[in-house]
């Protein structure tokens, strides 16, 4: 999921008043006419002709704010963000009191990944014009990219207080809420955006992702299908639709989704990883491994693909290789609870029970309600003859998942080893 910047740059060109504390002689009629012609061409999208006229103005008046600023806008539109910063920076040295110039500077800085500097530019714009909804929205996008989701949400809320029906901001607010795991609120934000723009494929995709998180899988599929009817080559929606199909155990249909995505974007590590998951679900483990390895050739630091590769190796009883794959995943992402759990399973199969126990404990420190880790921790403790602690671990797993048949069975095995047969036979 990503935020949609929409059309938040100051694409609407306009003349700029000089700062009142720095009076300038009135421009010549020739410069005024040339500027108006340049602005008209710019608004028509004729960037080359507009830029040539702005340059002619600068030859006559090198400190002409509008010409400098608009040349910066043109460079942004041409994706030459470094050039944009140079022109807009020169303009701001002449007049630092024009909010749109600070806004456009922020947009260019953000595009170059200079997020903190972009935030400073947006804050300058807001100091001049506190009700500048576009800047508040773009400021939110920058905070989102910095993973400062609570602050991003606050910025989107301020923007929406000014422009309540701005579809892009509503979508981006939903994305921030999604990252904060507030999926019902995210869904409501997407619904509001769709009431304004019913055929927005990106919002439909994001809405489906929220429904997926709420385990409303059939509704999620319907929303992905609407997105794909509008944009058939939408790779992200195809991937996400496949993921929802996997949750429904519709592995063949999921594989078809990933194959469509791969045909559109052949070099996507994410799609290859997801395709591997579908093959894994079909128990085609060797093919799954090949997919994960192709994903890793493209993105060697893909911790999820390394973990999934380990799972496929584990199913083939190649436990030492699986362990190595989990270790590689954890070298990239040390707080990866699922990889720690899986690593524990590989160590267990290698009869390295103390190490398995440590891996389960590490996973549980990150995810205390991880019922599977608690159950398998109990198995490791059972092998180490630490029966009472094993029982406590199984009991914790069953408190989280009372219908966890495997944990209940293994708890009974421990009780039988302790000669507590009546307890073993008695249901909890």
* Structure letter (DSSP) for residue 17: P
pLDDT at 9 over 70: no
For residues 9 and 79, is the Cβ–Cβ distance under 8 A?
no
Q: What is the pLDDT of residues 260-282, one digit of tens each?
A: 999 999 999 999 999 999 999 99
Q: Reply yes or no on whether the pLDDT at 373 is more than 70.
A: yes
* In the predicted structure, residue 18 carries a pLDDT above the cut 50: no
- Of the pLDDT bands very low, low, confident and very high (cuts 50, 70, 90), residue 1 is low
Mean pLDDT of the 227-255 span? 98
Q: What is the average per-residue pLDDT within 244-272? A: 97
DSSP string, 273-296: HHHHHHHHHTT-HHHHHHHHHHHH
Kindly state the DSSP code that residue 25 receives in the 8-state scheme: P
pLDDT in tens, 50-62: 999 999 999 999 9
Instruction: Supply the pLDDT for residue 28.
Output: 85
Q: Are 3 and 141 in contact (CB under 8 A)?
A: yes
Reported as a pLDDT band with limits 50, 70 and 90, residue 158 is very high
User: What's the CA gap between 392 and 363, in Å, rounded?
Assistant: 17
More confident call, 9 vs 213: 213
Span 303-326, pLDDT tens digits: 999 999 999 999 999 999 999 999
Residue range 65-88, pLDDT digits in tens: 999 999 999 999 999 999 999 999
| Confidence band of 4 (pLDDT split at 50, 70, 90) | low
Average pLDDT over residues 214-225: 98
Percentage of residues of the chain with pLDDT beyond 90? 89
Distance CA 138, CA 107 (A): 8
Q: Which helix (H) or strand (E) holds 54?
A: helix 47-60
- What sign does the CA torsion over 200, 204, 205, 210 have? positive
**Which is more confidently placed, 29 or 328?**
328
Side-chain-side CA neighbours of 381 within 13 Å: the count stands at 21
Taken in order 31, 32, 35, 40, the sign of the CA dihedral is negative
Give the residue-averaged pLDDT of 38-57: 94
Whole-prediction pTM value? 0.84
How far apart are alpha carbons 248 and 211 in whole angstroms?
A: 14
Q: Taken in order 203, 205, 208, 210, is the CA torsion positive or negative? A: negative
Q: What confidence score (pLDDT) does residue 419 get?
A: 80
pLDDT band at 417 (very low <50, low <70, confident <90, very high): confident
| Of the candidate ranges 37-51, 80-94, 167-181, 404-418, the one whose mean pLDDT is the lowest | 404-418
The CA distance from 302 to 273, in Å, is 9
Q: What is the pLDDT of residue 189?
A: 98
Q: Is 80 left (phi over 0), alpha (psi -120 to 50) or beta?
A: beta
| pLDDT value at residue 77 | 96
pLDDT attached to residue 16: 36
Secondary structure class of 163 (helix, strand, coil):
coil
Coil, strand or helix at 351: coil
pLDDT tens profile 107-156: 999 999 999 999 999 999 999 999 999 999 999 999 999 999 999 999 99
- 265 — phi, psi (to 5°)? -135, 85
- Per-residue confidence (pLDDT) for residue 418, from 0 to 100: 82
Q: How confident is the model at residue 11 (pLDDT cuts 50, 70, 90)?
A: very low
Strand, helix or coil for residue 402: coil
- pLDDT score of 415: 87
For residues 204 and 202, what is the distance between their CA atoms, to the nearest angstrom? Answer: 5
Asked if residue 160 has pLDDT above 80, the reply is: yes
Cβ 80 vs Cβ 109: under 8 Å:
no
Residue 420 has a pLDDT of 82
Whether residue 428 has pLDDT greater than 80: no
């Amino acid at each position: 999921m990503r935020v949609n910047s929409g059309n938040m740059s100051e694409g609407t060109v306009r003349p700029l008043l000089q700062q009142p504390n720095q009076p300038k002689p009135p421009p010549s009629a020739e410069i005024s006419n040339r500027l108006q012609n340049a602005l008209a061409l710019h608004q028509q999208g004729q960037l080359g002709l507009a830029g040539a006229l702005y340059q002619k103005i600068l030859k006559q008046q090198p400190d002409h704010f509008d010409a400098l600023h608009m040349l910066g806008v043109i460079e942004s539109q041409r994706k030459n963000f470094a050039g944009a910063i140079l022109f807009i920076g020169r303009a701001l040295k002449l007049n630092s009191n024009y909010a749109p110039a600070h806004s456009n500077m922020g947009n260019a800085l953000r595009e170059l990944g200079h997020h903190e500097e972009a935030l400073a530019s947006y804050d300058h714009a807001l100091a001049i014009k506190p009700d500048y909804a576009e800047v508040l929205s773009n400021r939110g996008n920058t905070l989102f990219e910095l993973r400062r989701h609570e602050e991003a949400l606050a910025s989107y809320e301020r923007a929406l207080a000014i422009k309540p029906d701005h579809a892009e901001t509503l979508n981006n607010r939903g994305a921030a809420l999604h990252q904060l795991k507030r999926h019902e609120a995210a869904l409501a934000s997407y619904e509001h955006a769709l009431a304004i723009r019913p055929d927005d494929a990106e919002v439909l995709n994001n809405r489906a992702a929220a429904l997926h998180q709420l385990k409303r899988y059939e509704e999620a599929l319907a929303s992905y299908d609407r997105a794909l009817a509008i944009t058939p080559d939408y790779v992200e929606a195809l991937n996400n639709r496949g993921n929802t199909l996997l949750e429904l155990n519709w592995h063949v249909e999921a594989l078809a989704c990933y194959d469509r995505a791969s045909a559109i974007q052949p070099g996507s590590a994410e799609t290859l990883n997801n395709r591997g998951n579908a093959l894994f679900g079909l128990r085609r483990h060797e093919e799954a491994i090949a997919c994960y390895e192709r994903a890793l050739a493209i993105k060697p630091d893909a911790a999820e693909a390394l973990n999934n590769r380990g799972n496929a190796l584990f199913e083939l009883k190649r436990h030492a290789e699986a362990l190595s794959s989990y270790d590689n995943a954890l070298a990239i992402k040390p707080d990866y609870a699922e990889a720690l759990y899986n690593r524990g399973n590989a160590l267990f199969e290698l009869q390295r029970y103390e190490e398995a126990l440590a891996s389960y404990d590490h996973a549980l420190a990150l995810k205390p309600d991880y019922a599977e880790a608690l159950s398998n921790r109990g198995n490791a403790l059972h092998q180490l003859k630490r029966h009472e602690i094993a029982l406590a671990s199984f009991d914790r797993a069953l408190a989280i998942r009372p219908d966890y048949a495997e944990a209940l069975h293994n708890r009974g095995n421990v009780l039988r080893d302790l000669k507590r047969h009546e307890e073993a036979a008695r249901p909890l």
